[in-house]
Amino acid sequence: MADEFSGAITTWDASTIARAVGEGVCTAEAVTAAHLQRIAAIDPQVQAFIHVDTSRALAAAQAIDARRARGEKLGPLAGVPVAVKDQIAVAGLPQTAASKILQGYIAPYDATAVALLRAADAVVIGKTNQDEFGMGSSTENSAWGPTHNPWDLQRIPGGSSGGSAAAVAAALAPIALGTDTGGSIRQPAALCGVSGLKPTYGRVSRYGAIAFASSLDQIGPMARSPAELALVLQVLAGLDPRDATSEQGPALASGPLIAADLQGVRLGVPVQWRGVREGQDPGVAAQVQATLVQLATAGAKIVEVDVPLLDASVACYYVVATAEASANLARYDGIRFGRRAAWTAQATVDELYASSRAQGFGAEVQRRILLGTYALSSGYYDAFYKKASQVRRLLTAQLHAALAQCDALVGPTSPQCAWPLGARTQEPMAMYLMDIFTISANLAGLPALSLPVLPHPTSGLPIGLQLLGAPWAEWRILSIAKAISDLQPGPQRWPTAVEAP
Ligand code: GLN
């Protein structure tokens, strides 16, 4: 492998870095320094990071180098820099979920996912920007300002894990963690031209992730290829006694990801995801269709499946997610948790709660709390929350039935490529409808990933293909994703709006 370690360190993928550090080709410190330097040069334009942890990242890298010098065997992510969504706890670093109400909060412990990455010898380099509490599809709902898409700085990176996606795309970090409640890993991955995986509900511990909608939230990896997602998932997966909803689940394969033989693959296209739907960019539909034709030519069997309730998924999700959010966010009242508003002697406790919450939460978060409280209120519970729970159960059954006929459901990740900053901020409904393809996986607890396919025919912007699998079938959809990316090779594409690494 003559040229495996050629090119700038920031272009190396995680497995290359781990090998280079493990074999002494370069130090973990050099890898971390290279990424920190690129962050300093590029991130003022992208604004993927809320907080860069320069000194502790370098210290962690040096400690890894010292262990290697003593002859210790290093972990599978030796010296790999990782960017962590602000929603996820990293001990000693600010954790605000991009909300003013958590300004000044320093996480006292590592999320389990972060602890596992560290145990595998990864190096946390910083916290990434996101929509406040994960609520949004564009990272414009951050209290700290938006992140810019490295393919076009005037466009959004997707959301809510937009900072993590932009960081991986712009070669500021080879891997990142995101959280996905309704598409927040997959959609920004799609819009930034990287890969992202939402694991089966329970596969990865949520301990240390600030709750948005607990029955939908999952932590997952973002990276520049399906093989890299697999490598990180192997580190993250497993039962955690600190998260009662986590499960051991059937084991993942060990060793590197191997591409599926497309001859034996059956892909289901839901009729509800076919063709050009209302609000969908025809260029996105065309490239997804072109990819399906390539897959069929390579031997995959493409079958049509019918999942009628997919059409109800946005409506169902925005009742369930807002209901759970209204309960989860009740704790931020300025007394028990969250930044307290200025207190005047005349104010009652209720007024102090109200002013702390009004000042601390952004407009979208307030909208969701109102919606969720309404959906759960005694007069409307049956009409909204109960009905949505019933739809959720039926949709799950329909998805299981469809997945019994194929290895994965396939379609676009997002109906649109990255849109201009500001284009949808005044229209919450238009923003919600961008989640049409991603939220069913969360409602049903299924694993789903996005991988970049052919770019948009006119704008050249990235397009993501989504694969949605049966419970615990991460490895199957990852191996199919690898086969698809092998089919559409070409040199690694770097975003065009920032200097190439
Ligand atoms: N865009 C969706 C929302 O706004 C999904 C967010 C997420 O997955 N965290 O709720």
Distance between Cα 127 and ligand 1 center (Å): 19
Nearest atom in ligand 1 to 364's CA: 4
Identity of residue 31: V
pLDDT at 279: 83
Distance between Cα 81 and ligand 1 center (Å): 26
Nearest atom in ligand 1 to 180's CA: 8
Q: How far is CA 164 from CA 49, 136, 222, 279, in A?
A: 8, 14, 7, 26
Residues 6+ apart with CB under 8 A from 260: 407, 476, 479, 480, 482, 483
Collapsed DSSP state (helix, strand, coil) of residue 95: coil
Q: How far is CA 57 from CA 52, 62, 426, in A?
A: 9, 9, 39
d(CA 475, CA 246): 18
d(CA 150, CA 169): 7
Residues 6+ apart with CB under 8 A from 1: none
SS3 annotation, 255-316: CCCCCCCHHHCEEEEEHHHCCCCCCCCHHHHHHHHHHHHHHHHCCCEEEEECCHHHHHHHHH
Nearest atom in ligand 1 to 179's CA: 9
In this structure, which residue's CA is closest to atom 4 in ligand 1?
Answer: 136
pLDDT digits over 401-457, tens only?
A: 999 999 999 999 999 999 999 999 999 999 999 999 999 999 999 999 999 999 999
Q: Which pair of tokens denotes residue 86?
A: 């602000």
Q: Is omega for the bond preceding 440 within 30 degrees of 0, making it cis?
A: no
pLDDT digits over 299-315, tens only?
A: 999 999 999 999 999 99
Q: Which pair of tokens denotes residue 334?
A: 């300025």
d(CA 334, CA 359): 10
What pTM, to 2 d.p., does this model score?
A: 0.97
Identity of residue 258: I
**Catalytic positions:** 85, 160, 184
Return the percentage of the chain with pLDDT > 70, whole number. Answer: 99
Nearest atom in ligand 1 to 435's CA: 1
Segment 168-188 shows an average pLDDT of 98
CB-hemisphere CA count at 13 Å for 491? 5
| Centroid of chain to Cα 154 | 21
Nearest atom in ligand 1 to 317's CA: 10
Pairing relationship of beta strands 81-85 and 123-128 according to DSSP bridges: parallel
Q: Alpha helices, DSSP H only, in 110-161?
A: 112-119
Distance between Cα 313 and ligand 1 center (Å): 13
Contact by Cβ (8 Å): 488, 288: no
pLDDT at 277: 79
d(CA 226, CA 483): 9
What count of other Cβ atoms lies within 10 Å of the Cβ of residue 496? Answer: 11
Distance between Cα 172 and ligand 1 center (Å): 24
Distance between Cα 188 and ligand 1 center (Å): 11
d(CA 217, CA 182): 8
Q: Is the pLDDT of residue 345 over 70?
A: yes
d(CA 26, CA 61): 12
- Residue linked to tokens 């697999």: 230
Our CA dihedral for 61, 66, 71, 73, rounded to 10 degrees, sits at -20
Among 211, 126, 214, which residue's Cα sits nearest to residue 163?
Answer: 126
d(CA 478, CA 24): 30
Among 320, 65, 289, which residue's Cα sits nearest to residue 215?
Answer: 320
Best residue among 86, 131, 210, 214 to mutate for probing ligand 1, ranked by most atoms within 8 Å of CB: 131
In this structure, which residue's CA is closest to atom 10 in ligand 1?
Answer: 135
The residues lining ligand 1, judged by C-beta closer than 6 Å to any ligand atom, are 134-137, 160, 180-184, 212, 321, 435
Nearest atom in ligand 1 to 213's CA: 9
Segment 79-103 shows an average pLDDT of 98
pLDDT at 491: 55
Distance between Cα 218 and ligand 1 center (Å): 11
Contact by Cβ (8 Å): 31, 13: no
pLDDT at 6: 87
Element holding 449 (H helix, E strand): strand 448-452
What count of other Cβ atoms lies within 10 Å of the Cβ of residue 490? Answer: 7
Confidence of residue 492 (pLDDT cuts 50, 70, 90): low
Collapsed DSSP state (helix, strand, coil) of residue 58: helix
d(CA 42, CA 434): 28
Contact by Cβ (8 Å): 168, 194: yes
Q: How far is CA 113 from CA 143, 209, 339, in A?
A: 25, 9, 26
Best residue among 85, 179, 216, 435 to mutate for probing ligand 1, ranked by most atoms within 8 Å of CB: 435
pLDDT at 1: 44
Collapsed DSSP state (helix, strand, coil) of residue 64: helix
Best residue among 132, 164, 184, 413 to mutate for probing ligand 1, ranked by most atoms within 8 Å of CB: 184
pLDDT at 347: 85
In which region does residue 367 sit, left (phi positive, over 0), alpha (psi from -120 to 50) or beta (all else)? alpha
- Residue linked to tokens 């693959």: 265
pLDDT digits over 274-296, tens only?
A: 877 778 999 999 999 999 999 99
Segment 488-498 shows an average pLDDT of 82
Contact by Cβ (8 Å): 86, 47: no
Helix then strand count (H, E) for the chain reads 15, 11
Best residue among 133, 137, 319, 416 to mutate for probing ligand 1, ranked by most atoms within 8 Å of CB: 137
Distance between Cα 21 and ligand 1 center (Å): 36
Which DSSP string do the residues of 161-177 spell out, in sequence order? Answer: SHHHHHHHHTTS-SEEE
pLDDT at 2: 46
d(CA 188, CA 156): 9
pLDDT digits over 378-402, tens only?
A: 899 999 999 999 999 999 999 999 9
Residues 6+ apart with CB under 8 A from 294: 487, 488
